[in-house]
A and B are shown apart, each in its own frame.
Chain A
Amino acid sequence: MRLTCPLCGPRDRREFYYYGAADYLNRPAGGDPAEWDAYLHLRDNPAGQTRDLWYHETGCAQWLLVTRDTVTHSISDVALVAAGGASGGGIAAKVKPEGSA
């Protein structure tokens, strides 16, 4: 598997750290426990197209929003989270992956 990093070009999977579903970008604003439970624990887990977060650990150290297929492993899009991701629109402020240690 290779990911085409927007900054570094096509790179081996071993350079990247997988974090999880792009749901992590939608952090709840309030303190509702059910919302936080859903945010931290519940997943769509699709068989097919998914969007998830990868970290280019041994490359540019950028968080990437990857659109790929969980059945075929084909990768259709890799975008910088900091630039708004593939879907665009100001998510950069939300991406600090708290609790990601």
Chain B
Amino acid sequence: MRYSGFRVIAEALTGHRGWKPMWRDPAPQPDYDYIIIGGGGHGLATAYYLAKEFGQARIAVLEKGWLGGGNVGRNTTIIRSNYLLDGNEPFYEFSLKLWEGLEQDFNYNAMVSQRGIINLIHTDAQRDAFTRRGNGMILHGAGAEMLDREQVRALYPWLNFDNARFPIKGALMQRRGGTVRHDAVAWGYARGADSRGVDLIQNCEVTGMRIENGRIRGVETTRGFIGAKKVGVAVAGSSGRVLAHAGMRLPIESHVLQAFVSEGLKPLIDGVMTFGAGHFYVSQSDKGGLVFGGDIDGYNSYAQRGNLPVIEDVAEGGMALMPAIGRVRLLRTWGGIMDMSMDGSPIIDRTPVDGLYFNGGWCYGGFKATPASGWSFAHLLARDEPHPTARAFRFDRFLKGRMIDEKGQGAQPNLH
């Protein structure tokens, strides 16, 4: 069924009796050409592009819970391509271009809203760094503008411009950045994949991998053995657990990142704002809640909840930037598990096991990457070579000293 404004009107006039479930609920077949482990944003996008752009068939997505029940529904919904390094920026710009055409491409309203993102500047050194980053963005066609203090004030006059520690001096703006309704991304990709014959198999946890003579033969699951010619793993947050089935240790630690939403307010912030110096970022949802977050909790964790000190720290960051929110009540907090890699950048690569491919290490930046991650992973799976924008995301970059370390923190995941 194709969705359109006409369809909505037609269904409204006929009692909404024509809507169908958006995807089937198939039982697993004995074997597939491709198995994608992980029914989140990246796994579903991979299956969608494998079928649609690379013409592949006999594809299954295995999801241990329900589709989109993990990090794709837990993030703070921001899209942007404001990276500095050559290994990253072309990839994220590719992703942003895919976001721009996504809703037409998969015929689903994902509420892609290019409302602009600003990174606040407080010092001359920061202005130099952001100018350099902005120039890098412009070189890769992503677009960037430097705003001065008065231009920021015109956008958000109620910010604390004269904070003694972090006075606001300007900002780096990417107008094409924004937000997307994250659940709809998972649903749109799921529907698009299903309609192209992909089996989306839920409640199907991978419990082992069958590897013979260095080649993957299939996976053991809670719903029995499923054979496959190629297996792609896209389970960021649980990468270490799944790849342990193949005897691999990864350059990744799992950390918990918390996110927050306030009670609904009248329109206050029409874009996305990051206060890097205070470890705080914020946007406002269409329902009116302030959606914000800060740092990861800092210690390895698989619990999808964090601790109070980080909540306090994030609240302090928010108050330093926007004293006006002092009496706003917090509605919800939650946590998601991040694949924190050793250099803060992702991995999309083959593994030492023939036919087994890996996509992970997204740190806390995986959501914006969803379309390009799916496309690039599908490219790697179908053609056995990396997508041109994802060539740097290799496992061996650590051994070879080719880290993609945007923050220059070194091999300590909790600092990225």
Contact = CB atoms under 8 A, between A and B. Distances in A.
A1 B250 CA distance: 27
Contact of A20 (B238, B307, B309, B412): B412
Contacts of A72: 303
Contacts of B412: 19-20
Given A14-B309, A18-B414, A20-B414, A44 B240 contact: yes
A52 B299 CA distance: 9
Contacts of A40: 342, 398, 411
Interface in B154-202: none
Interface residues of B, number: 25
- Report which residue of B254, B301, B307, B410 has the largest number of chain A beta carbons within 10 angstroms of its beta carbon: B301
A34 interface: yes
Closest 6 CB pairs of A and B: A45-B240, A42-B249, A41-B251, A37-B399, A41-B398, A47-B302
Nearest to A43: B253
A70 B303 contact: yes
12 contacts: A13-B309, A14-B309, A18-B298, A20-B300, A40-B398, A41-B342, A41-B399, A44-B249, A46-B240, A47-B238, A47-B240, A71-B303
A70 B249 contact: no
Interface of B: 238, 240-241, 249-254, 298-303, 307, 309, 342, 398-399, 410-414
Given A52-B299, A73-B301, A37 B309 contact: no
A34 to B, nearest CB: 7
A35 to B, nearest CB: 11
Interface of A is mostly: mixed
Given A50-B300, A70-B300, A73-B303, A37 B240 contact: no
Nearest to B249: A42
Given A37-B398, A37-B399, A73-B303, A43 B249 contact: yes
B399 A70 contact: no
Interface string A53-75: 01000000000000000111100
